[in-house]
Structure 1
């Protein structure tokens, strides 16, 4: 009889914990407010790049394509995935030295368990895309570093995805600004 009560108590406790994990994100918001990435060396790097560009021998070595690729900025607006899951705000790319970040600004999403940020090709399954990490918060400005191999022309869809239920919450399509 005592063992039966312990088993029932343990089962109720497990159900409560799982229920809390699934339901609590619906009424608890996680707010973040990350600063815009910027390098203290950035102004010095720009001056050095300008001096290098003035040198004709260096300029001939740098291809126009490389310059254009470095200067591209991408932007997009988040859209809802469906009526139950909403996402709003904008996404932009920000360079910080050699690193490129995706920055969410004025971001707000329906909260849920186990939310992640992915880059995917339009029409591609989210799980086949590039994982950028867990969503830092469902409200606020936040930054995600892009892997070196992330081609934003090809992987132009930013997706907020619930891993636990395999559900998209929303997305933004990136375009060159």
Structure 2
């Protein structure tokens, strides 16, 4: 009888409604199903063809549309680093590639990390720190968002704006914007073989 009376009380319904809303908000924020999801991406290394020599139809009878296309040159690695784990186990390699046209791309290879809500790829001027000390420091100074993380496993390319200062932005991080925490990060060091 007491249970029936309790279920009919208005306060019980208010508490139940509040609990249902809180549960819905928690599901939205934490997205726990993402612990069991994988988004795999496998983008090719970007290449840009050299511009063919300019010809006109009046000189030599050949116009630019008939000219053979120039071969694509392999991009040059100018900096690279290996990911370390922060909030979630993260493995893989990050490279800054310079393409034949002078543009730059961040290439993440063999990435293996957890999926999560609102994951971004950032360049930061803060140093990579191991352990929990590195979880939160990468948004303390200057950072540049390159876009949403395309997949938590595999290989992906992210365009780097031409005005990005790679002399100061020497860290790449997989950043969870919703919780302001790094999943993993890599210190980018100049490639001396380049």
TM-score, L = length of structure 2 = 0.65
Query: Any unmatched runs of 5+ in structure 1?
Result: 49-69
The structure richer in helix per residue is 1
Find the structure with the greater CA-based Rg: 2
Give 5+ residue unaligned stretches, structure 2: 1-7, 54-74, 128-136
Q: CA deviation at 1:12?
A: 3.0
- CA deviation after TM superposition for structure 1 residue 79, in Å: 0.7
**Contact 1:90–1:107 (8 Å) recurs in 2:** yes
- Which of 114, 118, 129 is matched with 2:118 structurally? 114
Determine the structure 2 residue equivalent to 1:173. Answer: 187
Once the two structures are superposed, the pairs formed by residues 36-55 of structure 1 within 5 Å of their partners are 36-39=45-48, 42=49, 44-45=50-51
2:178 counterpart of 1:164: yes
Matched, 1:126 2:126: no
TM-score (norm 1): 0.70
Q: What is the RMSD computed on CA atoms of the aligned residues? A: 2.8
Task: Please show how residues 1-177 of structure 1 align to structure 2 within 5 Å.
Answer: 12=20, 15-16=23-24, 18-19=26-27, 22=30, 23-39=32-48, 42=49, 44-45=50-51, 73-81=78-86, 84-96=87-99, 97-123=101-127, 125-126=138-139, 128-177=142-191
The Cα of 1:94 is off from its aligned counterpart by: 2.1
